[in-house]
Structure 1
């Protein structure tokens, strides 16, 4: 088997060992358009030739900003990487100010965008980015060059020897991409990842993923500019998995039923929404159907892998799978048998319920700086443990520092932060990357994340509070959509809570509670008392000093656009403290 040392080796490996008709599939004008393994490589080479002709060479930075995952992104990716140039992916939803910073800081000379919305943001700051020579669009837009122009320039294959020579000159140690992390504070940091960083991560993770080579289908919808989805897509290419690109999150359900995937990657927030929708439908049933639904839910919430609950539980579970859980699976396309989750902690109840339903979620852990996977669960060989992020992958070493911080060492550790050696030296010490996460490794070798080191705080009484631990427990309530635990330097912890408004409004209507807006709803005495019940129930799981003593409900939804969340759905805690400073004062007013 050919050695894979650079990222652009993956499509060639696929062509040689799992040549498939549906290597990349995008829906255009209502039709799923397939690009085969052969076409993928031909287009990538054509694109490389075109790039050479517009002046792209080794170490040229090419930015790609796409609102959705699509075939074009991957042709651009391989076309750029083959020349020893770097792909700089950018989140489409960030501010114009961040666009300007990233395009300037990276020194991007060319930029490929998906649509009018992204183009408008780029055009708004283009005059302030003198290094940017040209912008091309995937969609046809008047007044903007189209990416097809680069492909057309590459149709003359006379400079293919130059492409081949450029490919041979690319070393596995060379820089492949700069990914700007959506930091919760300050300017984004440019994480430099080499070909070796990501290739090693793919090859050391692939043993954990049970794909049938050449016969598996995946639906891709998490942002491809994030290293998690991007690394997984290279993994799909390695295994000859047909990759279908969802049109949007809104059309996810429709696309799943059209493409019938075997695997998806997801983030916990999405899985929570899927479960909440299923639960809401079950709650609307009546009679025996409703009783059976909740019997199956109760069974699922007690799930333990590998038959640990005994034969009688397994007998009941097989009945529940036939009567109830099979309908869940059908609603997700019918073939889904694996979901891989990352980016944030997964609630154990979701891990249990989906595994019971026969759609196990393999939770993993990593950071952009680690390419990204450090550990991941595996359903096979007793490699799955609920409440953990699995065992550390091959050739990666993890140790726990004295203060509980997770330290990581291996070929997946980034080259450093672009143009920022000081910040690099702060996090890579004696070859170990300091993750900033607190965790532990149990006797069986499973890694468990307990909190973010920087997010832990002390109350005025000197007690440490781990907010994520409390937040994840509280979010198991159907009433709570998002929660942020506060109280650094205060006498007790408290919380800002964004209710799950869909669920809350349905509950309020059943209770005949009158409301005209979110704001009027959360001022209702009965609503506040109901939230207090939820808080009180979860508080019992924690020590007295950790318990949420006060809370305030917020009328607005916490969103990326609103500045509450990073593009990877993490809380921007400092920004939140500013947004809700009045609520903070109300909670802690003397």
Structure 2
């Protein structure tokens, strides 16, 4: 433990070259109710993953919980899982749990990673080990089999009570083995980790790193990612599209601040990058332009990300094609993938080789997973990485599986008999009062290409037309109003200005042309503040909680149809 370095980016050193998690010989695994449950609420840090690995070796079940979780959901998860031990990272999180002690009777001990007066430190656990317990560890470790439950991950979902997804050691390791040949990782690479380890995406990829011998560094926070990238100089990191969008917005703000010839060159390079194609032959003239754009502009982008990026892996939501093209043209290939917590998580992902990549798709299905499309286009999955079911919820398990296939709830198509493309969420499709179906996600993804639109939610179920709630990008809007000579006393006041409303109407009309009459946004309402995780409008993976937003902003929606 003394080998852990704490600094700007904590580095988890690599004694773990073995496959993670450890899997013994196949034998009858204990039932989920027979295993000890250990919960953890912490930001990413080496202690998080070491606690995880210790649970695996001891045959315990880790229950990871998002630090941003509400008090009500926290109480539900701790009681539903029956966790007896709880690890927290700091005093703030301990205080959050402390006031709930009367509501979580199963918890017998709380340990902290930071040293907090009056709270047991996590290093008290190994210090309490006896010679007898240490002697039993090999026997306990060897009893762990592929069928042994490794973790219960409660999905926040967009509505309703959290449900615990059960994943075994075999589930997770099969996904590690399926993804390992696809990603450009080896023992010489470094990885920066900032997506929550509570989510199976970052956690499974961490096991890929360990298996390949990659050094893992943990970012201080989302706000320090840019500094941490320059410091660590990683070869790979995983992200969600929203972080890439924020990164691109910063690049654009610097571009807009340029003047004269430098400004001209910057925006010329952007136009060159947006013409990039991965699967099509480019003309010699374009190749020359791209080489020049790389030398004059894109080289600086790579340096800003540390200068060693081999690839960026993104998932959880659709990434804008223009960003995929731009970053790839700039020598920062973005590999978009797809999966669910229930599938450990990766189902498909674009590969490191150009033949295994297609913009606008989530790539080929990985080798040890089987996919087929139902008659209505729903994506069905079968394979060793698919969950054994939902904890204590046989009803939900039966609902999710039919004839051995897991129903994802996502709608997709297969392009060139190889590349999977997600078109929408089955439950998010809605029908207007005229009986026409509308898929909101493609509309929202397109509209977010506007530099003035931060977030958007399309509405219109059982209504006579399609509308939208739009959250402006207030940084860009402020710059625009300044250029127009307008005042910006507050978000609310700015959104009432006729010129601002007119500008957004023009933007909506510009993007409406990409959709048919039924899908076009007829009316919209501008929202004065961003939707956030803390505000309850977003899931921890930055998906819209549609029903929450619909209820919270019911008056705004009603005004659209008044």
Shorter-chain TM-score above 0.5 = yes
Task: Kindly indicate whether residue 105 of structure 2 is the aligned counterpart of residue 130 of structure 1.
Answer: yes
Q: Which residue of 2 aligns with 1:475?
A: 448
Q: Is the 8 A contact 1:375 1:391 kept in 2?
A: yes
Task: Kindly indicate whether residue 13 of structure 2 is the aligned counterpart of residue 36 of structure 1.
Answer: yes
Output the CA distance in 2 between the equivalents of 1:450 and 1:38. 42
- Give 1:210 deviation, angstroms: 1.4
1:387-466 to structure 2, matched below 5 A, reads 387-466=360-439
Label 1:467 to 1:317 Cα distance change in 2 as closer, same or farther (>3 A).
Answer: same
Q: Deviations over 1:568-590 (max 9, x none)?
A: 1111111101111111111011x
Q: What SS does structure 1 have at the residue aligned with 2:518?
A: helix
Output the CA distance in 1 between the equivalents of 2:494 and 2:146. 57
Which of residues 364, 368, 387 is equivalent to 2:337? 364
- Give 1:431 deviation, angstroms: 1.1
Q: Is the 8 A contact 1:25 1:33 kept in 2?
A: yes
- Give 1:158 deviation, angstroms: 5.3
- Give 1:161 deviation, angstroms: 2.7
Q: After alignment, is 352-361 or 509-518 more displaced?
A: 509-518
Task: Kindly indicate whether residue 552 of structure 2 is the aligned counterpart of residue 579 of structure 1.
Answer: yes
TM-score w.r.t. the length of structure 2 is 0.95
Which of residues 277, 287, 294 is equivalent to 2:267? 294
Task: Kindly indicate whether residue 183 of structure 2 is the aligned counterpart of residue 209 of structure 1.
Answer: yes
Q: Deviations over 1:106-130 (max 9, x none)?
A: 0000000001221122112111111
Q: Deviations over 1:156-179 (max 9, x none)?
A: 655333111001111111110000
Q: Which residue of 2 aligns with 1:143?
A: 118
Q: After alignment, is 95-104 or 331-340 more displaced?
A: 331-340
Q: Which residue of 2 aligns with 1:62?
A: 38
Q: Which residue of 2 aligns with 1:5?
A: none
Q: What SS does structure 1 have at the residue aligned with 2:222?
A: coil
Output the CA distance in 2 between the equivalents of 1:243 and 1:146. 24
Q: Which residue of 2 aligns with 1:310?
A: 283
Label 1:442 to 1:77 Cα distance change in 2 as closer, same or farther (>3 A).
Answer: same
Output the CA distance in 2 between the equivalents of 1:234 and 1:58. 26
Q: Deviations over 1:409-446 (max 9, x none)?
A: 10111010000000111111111110000000012410
Q: What SS does structure 1 have at the residue aligned with 2:111?
A: strand
Q: Which residue of 1 aligns with 2:25?
A: none
Task: Kindly indicate whether residue 234 of structure 2 is the aligned counterpart of residue 261 of structure 1.
Answer: yes
Q: Is the 8 A contact 1:27 1:245 kept in 2?
A: no
Q: Which residue of 2 aligns with 1:167?
A: 141
Q: Which residue of 2 aligns with 1:194?
A: 168
Q: What SS does structure 2 have at the residue aligned with 1:546?
A: coil
Q: What SS does structure 2 have at the residue aligned with 1:250?
A: helix
Output the CA distance in 2 between the equivalents of 1:127 and 1:26. 37
Unpaired runs of 5+ in structure 2?
23-32
TM-score w.r.t. the length of structure 1 is 0.91
Aligned length: 550
Q: Deviations over 1:11-63 (max 9, x none)?
A: xxxxxxxxxx99x96533x5x5555333899xx99xxxxxxxxxxx9710000
Label 1:234 to 1:75 Cα distance change in 2 as closer, same or farther (>3 A).
Answer: same
Q: Is the 8 A contact 1:40 1:75 kept in 2?
A: no
Q: Which residue of 2 aligns with 1:177?
A: 151
1:346-357 to structure 2, matched below 5 A, reads 346-357=319-330
Q: Deviations over 1:233-265 (max 9, x none)?
A: 000001000000001111111111111111110
Output the CA distance in 2 between the equivalents of 1:564 and 1:549. 24
Q: Deviations over 1:450-498 (max 9, x none)?
A: 0000000000111100000100010011100000000000010000000
Which of residues 307, 313, 330 is equivalent to 1:340? 313
Q: Deviations over 1:520-555 (max 9, x none)?
A: 011111111111111111110111111000000000
Q: Is the 8 A contact 1:96 1:124 kept in 2?
A: no
Output the CA distance in 1 between the equivalents of 2:499 and 2:232. 45
Q: Which residue of 2 aligns with 1:27?
A: 6
Q: Is the 8 A contact 2:12 2:215 kept in 1?
A: no
Q: Which residue of 2 aligns with 1:272?
A: 245
Q: Which residue of 2 aligns with 1:91?
A: 66
Output the CA distance in 2 between the equivalents of 1:481 and 1:472. 11
Label 1:395 to 1:279 Cα distance change in 2 as closer, same or farther (>3 A).
Answer: same
Label 1:332 to 1:391 Cα distance change in 2 as closer, same or farther (>3 A).
Answer: same
- Give 1:511 deviation, angstroms: 1.2
Q: Which residue of 1 aligns with 2:198?
A: 225
Task: Kindly indicate whether residue 503 of structure 2 is the aligned counterpart of residue 527 of structure 1.
Answer: no
Q: After alignment, is 389-398 or 122-131 more displaced?
A: 122-131
Which of residues 223, 239, 244 is equivalent to 1:250? 223
Q: What SS does structure 2 have at the residue aligned with 1:300?
A: helix
Q: Which residue of 1 aligns with 2:27?
A: none
1:528-567 to structure 2, matched below 5 A, reads 528-567=501-540
Task: Kindly indicate whether residue 461 of structure 2 is the aligned counterpart of residue 484 of structure 1.
Answer: no
Q: What SS does structure 2 have at the residue aligned with 1:320?
A: helix
- Give 1:557 deviation, angstroms: 1.2
Label 1:449 to 1:95 Cα distance change in 2 as closer, same or farther (>3 A).
Answer: same
